[in-house]
Amino acid sequence: MKYVPSLDKNFKPAALVIKDFMERVSKSNDKAKLSVCLERTHGYNYTYNLELFKDNTGHDDENFLIVERIVKSLLWLVGGYKIYIAGSPLVAKHLKDVYSEKGERAFDFNFMSNVYENKFEIIETTFDKLPEPNSQDFKLDNGLEGCRIGFDAGGSDRKVSAVIDG
């Protein structure tokens, strides 16, 4: 890192950690593909692909750390209640443990279950059994006429705002 923060000399931005991981994986002969598919309401989904070290090559903890951070980010960026993992049985098993009612990510487990009104689950699968891409495109409009509802699913609370004609 070019500039070391004065208040926390051990601070490492996630982007730099992930970049370093990806560079080391790209140079390795022991790499594998991993796909993470987050399913939302009405079967809509989002898929994220990456390379990581193969299972049981001495990088299992590191693989999990990177994938878990990516999954956590994707949950809050695109949402979902069902996560399919293809490419690493070890990562899938560890994610199942962590994203459970009593796991380290119990908050995310319960929150996403409530938001999507479906039980949150991690599903280990194979690449050929991943759900087909299914997204919905819609045009955003700047108009203020009509009725609007704003919703903020914040980390500590939820806020809702209703507006008529701006």
Q: What is the pLDDT of residue 19?
A: 95
Order the strands of the 31-39 sheet from edge to edge: 45-53, 31-39, 82-86, 121-125
Residue 104 forms part of a structural domain = yes
Number of domains into which the chain is organized:
1
Burial of 92 (0-12, 13-18, 19+ CB in 10 A): buried
Q: Give the containing element (helix H, strand E) for 79.
A: none
3-class DSSP state of 159? strand
Residue 162 forms part of a structural domain = no
Tokens found for residue 25: 């994986």
- Between CA 148 and CA 163 the distance in angstroms is 5
Q: What is the pLDDT of residue 53?
A: 98
Buried b / exposed e along 107-119 (16+ C-beta atoms within 10 A): ebbebbeebbeee
- pLDDT tens digits for range 103-120: 999 999 999 999 999 999
Residue 8 forms part of a structural domain = no
Residue 118's domain comprises: 14-137
Residue 76 forms part of a structural domain = yes
Categorise residue 158: left if φ over 0, alpha if ψ from -120 to 50, beta otherwise.
beta
The confidence band for 44, taking pLDDT boundaries of 50, 70 and 90, is very high
Residue 161 forms part of a structural domain = no
Residue 117 forms part of a structural domain = yes
Beta bridge partners of 50: 34
Residue 101 forms part of a structural domain = yes
User: Between 84 and 158, where is the model more confident?
Assistant: 84
How far, rounded to the nearest angstrom, does the alpha carbon of residue 36 sit from its chain's CA centroid?
Answer: 8
104: closest CA among 64, 74, 56?
A: 64
Question: 82-86 and 121-125 as β-strands: parallel, antiparallel, unpaired?
Answer: parallel
The confidence band for 57, taking pLDDT boundaries of 50, 70 and 90, is very high
Q: What average pLDDT does this structure show over 142-148?
A: 82
Residue 43 forms part of a structural domain = yes
